[in-house]
Amino acid sequence: MNLTQQIVNAIWLGSVYSLFALGYALVFSVLGVLNLAHSAVFTWGAFIALTAVLSFSMPIPIAALIGMLGAGIISFLLEKIAFQPLRKRGAPRISQLISSIGAAIFLVALAERVFTTSVQRFPLGSIPDDPIPGLPFSVTPIQVIVLVAAIGLMLLLQALIQRTKLGMRMRAVAYNARTASLLGVNVSRIYGITFFLAGALAGAAGTLFGLAYNSMDPSMGEAIALKGLTVIVLGGLGNIKGAVLGGFIVAAIEVFSIAFLRSNFRDAIVYLLLFLILLVRPQGLIGQKEEVRA
Amino acid sequence: MDFFRSIGISEPVFQFMLVNALLGLSVYLTLITGMFSLANAGFMAIGAFTGAILTQTFGLPLIVGLIGGMIAGGLVAIPVGLPVLRLRDIYLAIATIGFGEIVRIALLNVDQVASSIVGERVVITGGALGIKQIPKMAETWHLLLLLALAVYFIWRLQKSRFGRAMAAVRQDERAAANMGINVVYVKNIVFIFSAMLAAAAGVMSAHLTRIISPTDFGFNQAVDILAFAVLGGTSTAFGPIVGAFLLTALPEVLRFTNEYRGIINGAILLLVIIYLPGGLVNPEGWRRTWRRFRPAQGEASVNVG
């Protein structure tokens, strides 16, 4: 096992985890709710992109954009159907968690009906997956593309949040929705846009994940749903930079525990970490202290 | 009985309705103390494996398996509850999801670890294959008796001083603490009770299905258990029982195939939490709805608060 190879693997896997967890964190930071249907949106994004390639023979980059758009729309509708009524009623945060679980079950089951439960792939030869020659480690062009795309999207999101009017409104709503609405921000619209962006990121993560492993089925979101939770807890719930950092840390732990320990312990170590962080530093590695304990 | 059979509720279905009612009650206990825990599937797994090992490997009677499983569940709940129950709502939910996953992975790997320590092949939980050919010892009357005991226990518990403390902790932890209630103690005891009940359900279900594997007790099972309480509501202990009965029997009665199960279960969870926040068994909520649709009587128009 050479170390460089493990580091390379950890970096590209981490970029997908980070991209996925960004949407979780974005929604949590703006709305203060945990959207457990995020992984179902991830799955739908991947399958929409796949359908665009298989049934409409579109080139993969266009299909990936369609996957993001479709996932964004699903996520937007999710907010309107599963979250908005509860928020308007002032229901507790836990109710929104439960409704997102209901939505997740519904969306995954629907995906099983629409796309069947069998494993599906992008057409052979459509993905450049022969290792790039002349490097001291093995990396395929698709892995490089995944990494570049993921980091590009993260930077784009960062720019959107920090440098645009929309981003400023989102930050205002995240800070205090009531004050923001008094100052003329359409809070409901910001919530919709936040969910759309989070969904598009999940769709991108799903498509990239599907491309990188080229093996997709409707339960593909299950594992990443729980890992994504670990990632955002590690980074601090609702902390966008923390989510990116957490994604790379979790990926590194996974890759190195496969390399140096038994592979079945990979997940156990990830969840033990989740447990420990919650108990020792519930605000996350770089988060501010928030009241989360009794 | 013929009527029930004719609408699709055969004896095995009825037995699972009873097991699920026990699970619904286990999550009810934590919910009425204000704890949102998704750990019950993990405790169910601990009960199922402990019980199955006792009856199958050691040939002991079911009652020993049941008690053993419950003790194992309760014992694990102590070190888990002490640190975890300090966390609140979403954080507690995430931590208990993590606990469930750790239990599942531990059950998957216990044989391998034990084998490498002992130096020869050891079979305890059977890894991914799980335990097969567990004796089918559970009878319908066992389950009915167990459910009746659980209902009686919870009814007495809620009437007791401790039960009042549980309600106070749910309403407002700080106020409860100021009134002299030991919040940490109340939460941990309830968590242990809940774990033992889930473990009991696990033992019984293992002796009905006769085959168990760690993957049966994952996140999906935790969500199913939660759904019983959400559908039925937590105003009374009958809520989760009704919820469990309905969600278990509905697929059989309506005869929809497994493929639509997820779609319907997901939609039910979503619709109930949005439009029926108190669940089905919620006398107060129904009374309010009834009044809203009969404004002619007038007395309900005084709006306080």
Q: What does the pLDDT look like over B96-118, one tens digit per residue? A: 999 999 999 899 888 888 888 88
User: Best residue in B273, B275, B276 to probe A by mutation, most A CBs within 10 Å?
Assistant: B273
Contacts of A293 in chain B (CB under 8 A): 86-88
CB B241 within 8 A of CB B21: yes
Residue A56 and residue A38: Cα distance in Å, rounded?
26
Question: A-chain residues within 8 Å CB-CB of B109?
Answer: 262, 264-265, 268
Cβ–Cβ below 8 Å for B266 and A34: no
**What is the complex's ipTM, to 2 decimals?**
0.87
A113·B90 Cβ contact <8 A: no
pLDDT score at B257? 66
Instruction: Per residue of chain B (305 residues), give pLDDT as tens.
Output: 677 777 777 888 899 999 999 999 999 999 999 999 999 999 999 999 999 999 988 889 999 999 999 999 999 999 999 999 998 888 999 999 999 999 998 998 888 888 888 888 878 888 878 888 888 888 899 999 999 999 999 999 999 999 999 999 999 999 999 999 999 999 999 999 999 999 999 999 999 999 999 989 988 899 999 999 999 999 899 999 999 999 998 888 876 666 677 888 889 889 999 988 888 888 888 888 787 776 555 444 444 44
Number of neighbouring beta carbons within 10 Å of residue B71: 14
What stretches of chain B show up as alpha helix (H) in DSSP? 2-6, 11-31, 40-52, 62-84, 89-118, 140-159, 161-171, 173-178, 183-209, 219-232, 238-253, 258-275, 283-293
CATH number at residue A94: 1.10.3470
Contacting residues for A161 by C-beta, under 8 A, at least 6 apart: A167, A170, A171, A240
User: Residue B109 and residue A267: Cβ atoms within 8 Å?
Assistant: no
Q: Is residue A240 part of a domain?
A: yes
pLDDT reported for residue A293: 39
Whether residue B267 is contained in a domain is answered as: no
Judge contact between A235 and A9, C-beta under 8 A: no
* Domain contains B117: yes
* Structure token pair of residue A252: 């590194």
Per-10-residue mean pLDDT for chain A, 294 residues long? Answer: 82 91 91 92 95 90 94 96 91 89 93 88 79 81 88 91 92 90 92 95 93 87 88 87 91 86 75 87 71 39
Is A125 inside any structural domain? no
Please tell me the predicted confidence (pLDDT) of residue B303: 44
Residue B67 lies in a domain: yes
What total number of domains does chain A contain?
1
Cα–Cα distance measured from residue A1 to residue B31, given in angstroms and rounded to the nearest whole number = 48
Encode pLDDT of B275-301 as tens digits. 888 888 888 888 887 877 765 554 444
Residue B303 Rama label (left phi>0; alpha psi -120 to 50; beta): beta
Does B223 map to a domain? no
3 state SS of A96:
helix
- Residue B273 inside a domain? The answer is no
8 Å CB contact of A278 and B95:
yes
Under 8 Å between Cβ of A44 and A111: yes
DSSP class of B54: I
Q: Do A110 and B87 touch (CB under 8 A)?
A: no
Residues in A touching B226 (Cβ below 8 Å): 98, 101
Classify residue B274: in a domain, yes or no: no
The answer to whether the Cα torsion of A285, B90, B224, B188 is positive or negative is: positive
Domain that holds residue B166: 11-218
Which residue do the tokens 């949407």 mark?
Answer: A23
Q: Domain limits at A208?
A: 3-117+138-280
Residue A138 corresponds to which tokens in the numbers above? Answer: 């093995």
Q: Of the candidates A162, A122, A164, which has an alpha carbon nearest to the alpha carbon of residue A142?
A: A122
Q: Which residues of A touch B99 (CB under 8 A)?
A: 275
Residues of B with Cβ-Cβ distance to A81 under 8 angstroms: 270
Assigned token pair, A19: 């991209």
Q: How many Å separate Cα A101 from the centre of its chain?
A: 16
The conformation of residue B160, written as its DSSP 8-state character, comes to S
Strand partners, A275: none
**Which residues of chain A are within 8 Å of residue B106 when distances are taken between CB atoms?**
268
Contact flag B263-A110 (C-beta cutoff 8 Å): yes
Query: Which of B274, B275, B276, B288 to mutate against chain A (most A CBs within 10 Å)?
Result: B274
- Distance from C-alpha of B219 to C-alpha of A104, rounded to nearest angstrom: 12
Nearest chain B Cα distance for residue A77, angstroms: 14
Beta bridge partners of B212: B131
Task: Determine contact, residues B29/B187, Cβ cutoff 8 Å.
Answer: no
Pairwise CB contact (< 8 Å): B91 & A282: yes
In a domain, B236, yes or no: no
Phi-psi group of B5: left, alpha or beta (phi > 0 → left; psi -120 to 50 → alpha; rest → beta): alpha
Give me the number of domains chain B comprises: 1
